Structure 1
Amino acid sequence: MKIGVVSDTHLSDRREIRLPQELLGGLSGVELILHAGDWISPRVAEELEKLAPVEGIAGNNDGMDIVSRFGYKKIVEAAGVRIGLIHGDGYGKTTERRAFDAFEGQDVQAIVFGHSHIPYLERKAGILLFNPGSPTDKRRQLLYSYGIMEIREGEITAVHHYYASWD
């Protein structure tokens, strides 16, 4: 199973909701899209749903329309693998640590998170931790990014995809 992973799109209704062509092309053919919060506009979900079913959670910048639809934390089952989904905002720890700790004692094989806009990939205690970065708001990163996860025979892997600009 091929899964597209996105976070921190930060696109508001004040302008046309348009996702980068590099992202749309890269998500072509995925069977599911996970969004780790800070959508800002629910119309982002509508655009992604044109490509594949979407699961997500709300981030610290999302309004109640997104919170009521997605919630703040969930476990998504895909091809027999349990994936924890959380934004990762908070205080007192790194974003990665907050995401990892949020699913302590729960049966997950991967945790997808966002918030920092920094692409991240690590296995910790047998759990894949994955932050796709941002496809639209790279902040201090050199490149925009999103991720692709693949599940084969119960094993989950992830890879980042990067691009320099979008219009």
Structure 2
Amino acid sequence: MQRWVHVDRSVESRSGDLRIVAVADTHSKIHSDGISRISALKPDCILHGGDIGDLRVLDELAEVAPVLAVRGNIDGLEMPDSMAIDVLDEGRRALRVLLLHIALAGPRVRADARKLAKKLDADLIVCGHSHVPFAGRDRGITVFNPGSIGPRRFTLPIIFGELTVSRARVDVRHVDCETGLKWMPPGRISAPGANETEPSRDDDEPRRTR
């Protein structure tokens, strides 16, 4: 029987908007500017989508903010495979994030990830594995891959994600670790004053709940 360990956690906003940094695929080494870039955002918590490598990476991140992490395919069994994280607003659930390592096959959500998200009533999946930054929606499931903040793979950017959770909405963006600027896919130009939310496949946002 295949092993699968799931845990539940919660984080709470105590002063308005909740700022979450999402990272993945560190492979034992965070980019040299990674910690300073993340610290500058003053996150309330950090999510790690797996392929951690050396667990001292989590200690580095924990010096900035509390860390919630799942195991990737290179990690040991001491980490959970998936985690449901409830974002609480005055004690009530405002958003449920499903954190797991592998959720996408190209731009499509895998059947096993979809099934788990539906079972847990998750509003948003945060994942890793591919090193490819992604923000979108597939058949009713919103998914965010922050990309990799570890050693560069091929010509992919070294990158992480930021999620800002307010009572009205959830904004997500990718941050280029080398420049500290918002990352945009090649060929896209952000108009002055444009909304900072990454576009999803049907221009929807993670729904707010309860």
TM-score above 0.5: yes
Partner of 2:20: helix, strand, or coil? strand
- What residue in structure 1 maps to residue 57 of structure 2? 44
Q: Which residue of 2 aligns with 1:63?
A: 76
Structure 1 segments unaligned to the other structure (5+ residues): 12-16
- What is the CA–CA distance in structure 2 between the aligned matches of 1:142 and 1:40, rounded to whole Å? 19
The answer to whether structure 1 residue 25 and structure 2 residue 70 are counterparts is no
Query: What is the deviation of 1:103?
Result: 1.5
Q: 2:105 aligns with which of 94, 109, 116?
A: 94
TM-score, normalised via structure 1 length = 0.81
Task: Write out aligned runs for 1:87-126 (5 A).
Answer: 87-88=101-102, 94=105, 96-98=108-110, 99-126=113-140
- Match of 2:83? 74
Distance 1:71 1:154, change over 3 A: farther
1:57-109 deviations in Å (ceiling 9; x for gaps): 00010023xxx2x30011011233110000007xxx71652244432332111
Structure-2 separation of matches of 1:125 and 1:156: 19
Consecutive unaligned residues of structure 2, counting only runs of 5 or more, are: 1-17, 89-93, 180-210
Matched residues, number = 152
Percent identity, please.
Answer: 31
RMSD between aligned alpha carbons?
A: 2.2
1:126-148, Cα deviation, whole Å (9 max, x unpaired): 54310011011331234211000
Which amino acid letter does the alignment assign opposite residue 134 of structure 1?
S
Give 1:43 shift.
0.6
Q: Secondary structure at the match of 2:64?
A: coil
From the CA coordinates, give the structure whose radius of gyration is larger: 2
Greater helix content: 1
What TM-score does the superposition give when structure 2 sets the normalisation length? 0.65
1:4 counterpart letter in structure 2: V
Where do 4+ consecutive residues of structure 1 move more than 4 Å? Answer: none
- Indicate the residue corresponding to 1:10 in structure 2: 27
Q: Which of 28, 36, 47 is residue 34 of structure 1 equivalent to? A: 47
CA contact (8 A) 2:159 2:175 kept: yes
Query: 1:14 maps to which residue?
Result: none
User: 1:134-149 maps to which residues of 2 (within 5 A)?
Assistant: 134-149=148-163
Distance (Å, rounded) in 1 between the aligned partners of 2:49 and 2:133: 12
